Amino acid sequence: MNYLVTGGAGFLGAALANRLSKQGHLVRVLDDLSTGDESKLAAEVEFTRGDVNDKPLLWSLLQEVDCVFHLAAKVSVPESSLFPRDYNHVNVGGTVTLMEAIRDARIGRIVHVSSGAVYGPQLEVPYRETSQANPASPYAVSKLSSEYYVRELAAEASVEAVVLRVFNAYGPGQRVPNSHPPIIANYLKHAITNGSIVIHGNGTQTRDYVYVDDVVNAITAAANANNVDQEVINVGSGVETSVLELVRLVRQVTGKKPEEIFNPLKNAGLSRMCADISKAYRLLNYLPLTSLETGLRLTVERDPQYHVE
């Protein structure tokens, strides 16, 4: 099979591209390297630096491609509130441009990687695909809008489309930027360097943390599964974990005892978040194989940024 992975030099994208390449597929990657890293990609992967809004470039990359994995996106919730127009341009505009190119190139299927953030605050946990979306940030609004565009434009063009709502993915290769870092990568870095861990709110808020290999399993399954056209599917661990429990596991895995600093004035976001993954099991035969404790250990073992002398 021939695949195009947009955003393929990013955290999830690179893991996906390398998995596909290792399986013997021809893999093309498009990434603007605004946050991605070309060095993460296997030598066999065909890399092109470019913008997902560049339709002529997309057209050239789509030749002889069987399926597109769309992961190109800006992904920071706090940053999206500062730059909502940028998030709309990339996450919505880039998706529309890609769908136009996919239509013109007559691609068979697109797997669109969205986010569990589209649900926003919900009264019932775990979150089901039938729950009413309630996006609570410009980022979440842009991801929900992109879902609608993918499904509508794909249906008009007779292209099969699968939307995956990925929850809090983590694992080796995840960046730890100075501004708005992902919580697990941030906590591991500070624990290993004997820093302090900042807990916003009281730490009882929960999230669904899913290991990168499990996410890639779901994404690859979505490329070949039957009867998934126009489906929206949650991808998570199905386990609800509090921030306090995450801190305990980080300390246990690293063998460090970082100072815990509580910041009660900082908005801690949603109080609870967890995916119902029964639909993913039914349609994709998806079951997460990696517990949070195991995933944290693998992240520390496999990612050089945590190997501090």
Per-residue burial over 222-236, b if 16 or more Cβ lie within 10 Å, else e, is bbebeebeebbbbbb
Query: Catalytic residue at 139?
Result: yes
Kindly report the length of the chain: 309
At 305 the three-state DSSP class reads helix
Say if CB 27 and CB 50 are below 8 A apart: no
Q: Which of 85, 90, 54, 61 is nearest to 75 (CA)?
A: 90
Which one of the listed residues 87, 119, 127, 139 is annotated catalytic? Answer: 139
Contacts of 186 (CB under 8 A, 6+ apart): 176
The Cα–Cα gap between 154 and 36 comes to 27
Say if CB 284 and CB 226 are below 8 A apart: no
Say if CB 220 and CB 287 are below 8 A apart: no
Residue 290 identity: T
At 241 the three-state DSSP class reads strand
Q: Would you give the DSSP letter of residue 24?
A: T
List, by residue number, the catalytic residues.
139
